[in-house]
Amino acid sequence: MDILSVIEHKKKNMALTEEEIRFFAQGAADGTIPDYQLAALLMAIRLNGMTMQETAWLTDCMARSGAMLQPDVGGIPLDKHSTGGVGDTTTLVLAPLVAACGGKVLKMSGRGLGHTGGTVDKLESIPGMQVELDEETFVDIVRRVGCCVVGQSKNLAPADKRLYALRDVTGTVDSVPLIASSILSKKFASGAKAIVLDVKVGSGALMPTLDDAIRLAKTMVEIGKILHRPVSCVISGMEEPLGSRVGNALEVKEAVEILQGKVQGPLKDVALFLGSRMLLNASLAKTANEATEKLAHAIETGAGLEKLKEMIRAQGGMPDVCDNVVLLPTAPCIRPVLSPESGWLSATDGVALGMAAQKMGAGRMTKDDVIDPAVGFIMKKRIGDWVEKGEEIAILHACGTASADEAEKNILAALSLSPVPAPPSRLIYALVDENGVQEINL
């Protein structure tokens, strides 16, 4: 078998066999297939799609391209994953909260992909934080602390690790089979037994419409059924940045301030909703209300913040950032973006806002780019808010004047003001699991 014939079959919109998919996945994992041929196959998949069976095979083959953990963490191994958004720092809020409630969260996260931020990049803005850990250390921290968030191990799903980096720079990010197989292969390889997926929908998401998001969610639930792993999906909104801050250190600060009980808002609300599903899946709560109350109590008592400190300390980082966020990296150029006119903020271009942060250095344009952890911006207004001419609509944290000038232009171009009031953006649309689609209006 050779990769050219596999590319040719998918180029002609033919279904690949399990043998072909295993060959492709193993070649990605061991480096025997070069980047340019992998990129060609990724584009053929992006254009022609995959059947459900092909996608399940790809998921399984990528998961089995390296080690398969069977972690003994003293409880049900839990995981949560987001399809990616802007200002989405839910993992850094819910992982310690779920751990404080008795959960065991083992999370293998990615780096920034396209216009979306990456949890691993955010964690690396914490001085000393180690996100590349061996499997034994990873599992040990989960057992002792209750949560650990690391980058993708070289030994776990190595095929996905290589393809993930290529998708970011080949225009193949927004493919349902590639998204679904990428997410689930990592989860299955890491040994997660109960998986909650946050499928984003809206202008800042990989899935721009609700139909697209539900299709992706149903795909992942179905793959879980085929491969005998329980998967549930929450469809959440991404019409604007979830949190007020966009950029790695800035987002860590916001997560810390939520756990300190200082910040309310959509980021906290979505984190509590996702965390409640994790507690239910681990049988640590009988109802959604009980689960949410437990998580809220962990904030009120400071137990969640203490768990974050424990996790950071266990991973070699500086836990003092949880008491003093000024210890996180700070940009040299901080200045406001003033609104050029008055009006109601009626819409935002989420992709454009994500790209604005990426161009500032908060994300990557190529897979080898180095991230500046300090840069990004803080949104001072949300959809539905009134904005006065000359009022602060955002605050830039840039590496210099030229970068700030470009970011200001890009951010203003991504915002739409209207003389007519606009309703706030929706946070949660639906829950998708083996029982079907349940509409939720939050």
User: What is the reported pLDDT for 1?
Assistant: 87
Residue pLDDT, tens place only, 48-77 = 999 999 999 999 999 999 989 889 999 999
What is the average pLDDT score of the chain?
A: 94
Q: Which two tokens stand for residue 117?
A: 């931020």
Widest Cα–Cα separation across the chain: 64
With vertex at residue 330, the alpha carbon angle to CA 397 and CA 328, rounded to the nearest 5 degrees, is: 130
pLDDT at 16 over 80: yes
pTM score above 0.95? no
Which CATH topology does 3-49 take? 1.20.970
Residue pLDDT, tens place only, 327-380 = 999 999 999 999 999 999 999 998 899 999 999 999 877 767 789 999 999 999
Catalytic residue among 167, 187, 294, 309: 167
User: What is the reported pLDDT for 116?
Assistant: 67
- φ, ψ (nearest 5 deg) of residue 346: -105, -20
pLDDT at 35 over 70: yes
What's the DSSP call for residue 168?
H
Domain boundaries, the chain: 3-49, 77-325+427-439, 330-418
Residue 167 annotated among the catalytic residues of the structure: yes
What number of other Cβ atoms are within 10 A of residue 293's Cβ? 14
The amino acid present at 175, given as its one-letter code, is S
Residue pLDDT, tens place only, 311-326 = 999 999 999 999 999 9
Residue 212 annotated among the catalytic residues of the structure: no
Catalytic residue among 60, 88, 121, 160: 160
- Burial group, residue 51, by CB count within 10 angstroms (0-12, 13-18, 19+): exposed
User: What is the reported pLDDT for 226?
Assistant: 94
CATH for the 330-418 domain, from 3.40.800.20, 3.40.50.800, 3.90.1170.30, 3.30.200.20: 3.90.1170.30
Strands of 242-375 (E only): list them.
245-246, 333-338, 343-348
Catalytic residue among 186, 253, 364, 397: 186
Give yes or no for a contact between 250 and 321, defined as CB atoms under 8 angstroms apart. no
Residue 276 annotated among the catalytic residues of the structure: no
Residue 397 annotated among the catalytic residues of the structure: no
Distance (Å, rounded) from C-alpha 59 to C-alpha 157? 10
Would you say domain 77-325+427-439 falls under CATH 3.40.1030.10? yes
The amino acid present at 133, given as its one-letter code, is L
Catalytic residue among 182, 185, 203, 403: 182
Residue 125 annotated among the catalytic residues of the structure: no
- Burial group, residue 220, by CB count within 10 angstroms (0-12, 13-18, 19+): buried
DSSP 83-124: ---SS--HHHHHHHHHHHTT-EEEEEE---BTTB--HHHHHT
pLDDT at 129 over 80: yes
Closest CA to 251 of 151, 129, 134, 373: 373
Q: What is the mean pLDDT of residues 250-264?
A: 97
